[in-house]
Structure 1
């Protein structure tokens, strides 16, 4: 089983691993696109980079982080990302087997294994990045063919917890798409927005820590029920996590 998470704009600073080496990352088929994106980003003048990334002056440090991304220290991807989802996931207290079941989606790197060493950077799935040779390109147009090919090779049960901007970067055939639904006292349901990140983190922690191997959507529903979570299979290739507040 693999669980694919979205990244976070919020990131931990620093790290105790050597600077970025794309050859050390999983999914070597993605290396050419990774390299192209980094080169196009670093070709921008700082103020142009700020405009492209739509950053306020208050976030100028994110521009500086990008400028230094080839030389700054790295840390495992699962420790680099912070925020609501990653606070709920609590990577520092996950068992080793859990790290092996978590992938992350990134506008700069495509798919990442939880252990892949990455620097602090800023680039979102909705960015449109100019090419050095002229023109501009969305992250979707840069990633779609290559990332979809990599997604088609992922083994076993795949739970796709990516947000919309990252799900569009590449398809994953046969993956179960996760949606967090809020159930009201009258029984009506609606899609949860921001707070869905917390529940995705909680769910990922439970699933990734499982001692047994989960092989189907039914296994996921049964296992999570044993841990106090309510999940349903509304149709093929979908999973709903139902929360009641």
Structure 2
């Protein structure tokens, strides 16, 4: 089983530590694209570059971190990524797992233990001479990311457009409250489901995923067939 997580918009900037060593990150086949993006981000001119990053003036200081990412302090990804999903998951307890990859517009994917700096870049950004980050990442990710076995995909939006498994059995996770989806609740539920799956015995099938979540006390509906399945958690 492999769990794909989204990044968080908010990140905790490390206060000290050695800078990122791109060569040490998981999936070294992505390093050429990582280096290209680091170069582009280091040359941005502010405040005009805010339009490329699709953020407002209130995030200027955070966005300007992109200028010095090669020299900035780095920390394990499980410490840098924050937000509702990560609060419910408690990824630090699984820091050394090889069953998790975290999607990133800058790094492609990283492991929880990979050391990275805080950065500001979403997959929907349009950088100079790079109008589409999903398109930029599509081929490198296709070549580098394992596409086999069972993949529980908790990404959304442009991150799924950057890479979609073709051969693996894919399980998506949704959450509903009174028949409606609520973004905050979906993130929390995905964090809970990831924690359940990482804490228990290995799962191999969509039915195993649904059974594990159900055994943890959640009401679950499983739908799908073949290589495409969805686990709906009902509140």
Q: Same fold (TM over 0.5)?
A: yes
- Find the counterpart in structure 2 of residue 34 from structure 1: 34
Match of 1:160 in 2: 153
Task: Count matched residues.
Answer: 232
- Structure 2-normalised TM-score? 0.91
Residue 216 of structure 2 corresponds to residue 218 of structure 1: no
Unmatched runs of 5 consecutive residues or more in structure 2 = none
Contact kept, 8 Å, 1:179 with 1:191, in 2: the verdict is no
Counterpart of 2:107?
A: 109
Which residue number corresponds to residue 198 of structure 1? 188
2:65 counterpart of 1:65: yes
2:229 is aligned to 238
Deviations 1:61-103, CA, capped at 9 Å, x for gaps? 11221112111111111211111111111223x2556x33221
Per-residue CA deviations over 1:114-136 (Å, capped at 9, x if unaligned) read 111110100001111113xxxx4
Secondary structure of 1:47 counterpart: coil
Is 1:180–1:192's contact at 8 Å kept on the other side of the alignment? no
Give the distance between the partners of 1:112 and 1:177, measured in 2 at CA. 20
- Poorly superposed stretches of 4+, deviation over 4 Å: none
Q: TM-score, normalised by structure 1?
A: 0.87
> Matched residues in 2 for 1:4 and 1:100: separation?
11
Supply the distance in 1 between the matched residues of 2:171 and 2:212 (Cα, whole angstroms).
Answer: 17
- Could you tell me which residue of structure 1 aligns to residue 123 of structure 2? 125
Indicate if the aligned counterparts of 1:4 and 1:104 stay in contact, CA closer than 8 A. yes
CA contact (8 A) 2:95 2:112 kept: no
Q: Deviations over 1:216-239 (max 9, x none)?
A: 111111122211123332112122
Given that residues 143 and 169 in structure 1 are in contact (C-alpha distance below 8 angstroms), is that contact kept between their aligned partners in structure 2?
Answer: yes
* Whole-Å separation in 2 of the counterparts to 1:84 and 1:61: 23
Aligned to 1:78: 78
C-alpha contact (below 8 Å) 1:160/1:175 kept by paired residues: no
Cα pair 1:105 1:162 within 8 Å, conserved? yes
Aligned mates of 1:157, 1:234 — CA distance in 2: 15
1:173-219 per-residue CA deviation (whole Å, 9 max, x = no partner) reads: 224241313152xxxx3444332101111111111111x22111111
C-alpha distance after superposition, 1:133-181 (max 9, x if no partner)? xxx4211111111112223x24532111101121111112224241313
Provide structure 1 residue ranges, at least 5 long, that are not aligned to the other structure: none
